[in-house]
Amino acid sequence: MRFRHILTVLILTCVVAATAFAQGVSPESAQKYTEGQELFKKRRFREALTAFEDAVKIDAKNAQAFRAQGKALEQLRNLDNAEEAYKMATSVKPDYVEAYFELGQLQLRRKEFQKAQASFKKVIEINPGFADGKPREYLENAYLKMGGVYFKQRNYPKAAAQYEAATQLNPANPTVFYNYGLAQQRARKYSAAREAFETAIDLDGNYGKAHRALGDLFKTTNKNSQAISAYLKAVKADAKDNRSRLNLAIIYQKINQNTKAISILKHGTEVDPKNGKMLVALGKAYSDAKKYKSAISSYKRASALKASPEANYRIAVAYFETKQYKSAIAACNKAVSSRDWAVRAHVILGDCYRELGQKEKAVVHYEKGILNRIYKKYCEDQIDRIKNPMGAEEEPEADG
């Protein structure tokens, strides 16, 4: 047994030495590297790191030891030094594909996406078939991640460039084309955006988000019939897609197909009974159809879920139309604190007080409505009618 152990040690020493000489590394450095590897396998990472450090102190040309340092430092969560160790490995051995690959993975982990791109490109340049194509997958991911960073920064042209690079790496991935289309749409490159969304749909006919994005694009460019078709496909692909239903209803109302809008929105409230936006939109559709009782019911359901200035304003309009002026006033008073709905609420308050005969209060609210150019003429006319009623004007005397 002792002889067998001695023989094993001799064989291992010879293998290490042969490897070391093949790489131009001293046997002593190679031996330290081997000791570190054994410690690493036993998860004794600090001791392993010390052995790898000793290996490069003995011989600074030991690229394997630098790479091993990087792996040990990663385990010890010292990512800054791990990255430097991998870089040392590649500087000592410029074609060290494994080190470039691990460096790229670390850079991805650290959200250094452009650096990761450079590392994975180097892997592919050295060995296109390395790791069964994994570097291409990681490079694609790095492009997508960097595209996401630019997108959040609203730098849409740069985001589009990143996504386009990803499409070239993987032209069969519908998500990449979808992201590319979104960036082009935000950059107002509508033709390129449409082509990208359509490519995503060609790759995956049930890609609901791509159908919806195409619908949004058609809606923005006032292609109503095409937008309707895209939104219907989006809802078919994803029955829970109430964003598409909302936009679909807006278009139906725009082209005076209010019955269809109500049907779509009612279905949406069944899919998600707690969707306040859907309930408010349904209330508006009912109001547009002069079904004020149904509108009020829908607005009340929306308000019960969450306080909404828009719901308060719109229910006030419905109350006004049904001559429930006091209820309308109460609802408007809840909306006047909102920057978006305050002026409109003041106009309705003016109308309510006018109908109740409280002219001074009506004038106060109309004067606040004048501040908005949309309501300025209407409010000025109402104030003039209150202050200068036709019945108070002098009548000409009859001749003789």
Q: Is the pLDDT of residue 219 over 90?
A: yes
| The token pair that represents 316 in the structure block | 């006030």
Q: Is the pLDDT of residue 12 over 80?
A: no
- Name the percent of the chain lying above pLDDT 70: 92
**Architecture of the domain spanning 307-385:** Alpha Horseshoe (1.25)
In which element (H, E) is residue 92 found?
Answer: helix 79-92
What pLDDT score does 24 carry? 80
Give the mean model confidence (pLDDT) for residues 158-166: 98
Tell me the pLDDT of the chain averaged across its residues: 91
**Rounded to an integer, what distance in angstroms lies between the CA atom of residue 106 and that of residue 383?**
70
Q: Domain residue spans in the chain? A: 307-385
**Rounded to an integer, what distance in angstroms lies between the CA atom of residue 89 and that of residue 122?**
14
What pLDDT score does 84 carry? 97
pLDDT tens digits along 347-364 = 999 999 999 999 999 999
Helix 63-75 × helix 27-41 angle, to 10°: 20
Residue with tokens 């209150």: 386
Q: Are 195 and 214 in contact (CB under 8 A)?
A: no
The distance from CA 126 to its chain's CA centroid, rounded to whole angstroms, is: 35
What pLDDT score does 368 carry? 94
pLDDT tens digits along 79-103 = 999 999 999 999 999 999 999 999 9
What pLDDT score does 10 carry? 34
What pLDDT score does 377 carry? 96
Q: Is the pLDDT of residue 162 over 70?
A: yes
Who's near 178: CB < 8 A, 6+ residues apart? 196, 197, 200, 207, 209, 210, 213
What pLDDT score does 211 carry? 98
What pLDDT score does 7 carry? 34
Instruction: Write down how long the chain is.
Output: 400
Q: Which of 9-23, 137-151, 299-313 has the highest mean pLDDT?
A: 137-151
Q: Are 64 and 33 in contact (CB under 8 A)?
A: yes
Closest to 329 measured CA to CA, from 305, 356, 302, 304: 356
What pLDDT score does 238 carry? 96
State whether residue 353 is helix, strand or coil. Answer: helix
What pLDDT score does 23 carry? 55
Q: What is the pTM of this model?
A: 0.81
pLDDT tens digits along 250-286 = 999 999 999 999 999 999 999 999 999 999 999 999 9
State whether residue 356 is helix, strand or coil. Answer: coil
pLDDT tens digits along 14-58 = 333 444 434 588 999 999 999 999 999 999 999 999 999 999 999
**Rounded to an integer, what distance in angstroms lies between the CA atom of residue 33 and that of residue 69?**
10
What pLDDT score does 397 carry? 53
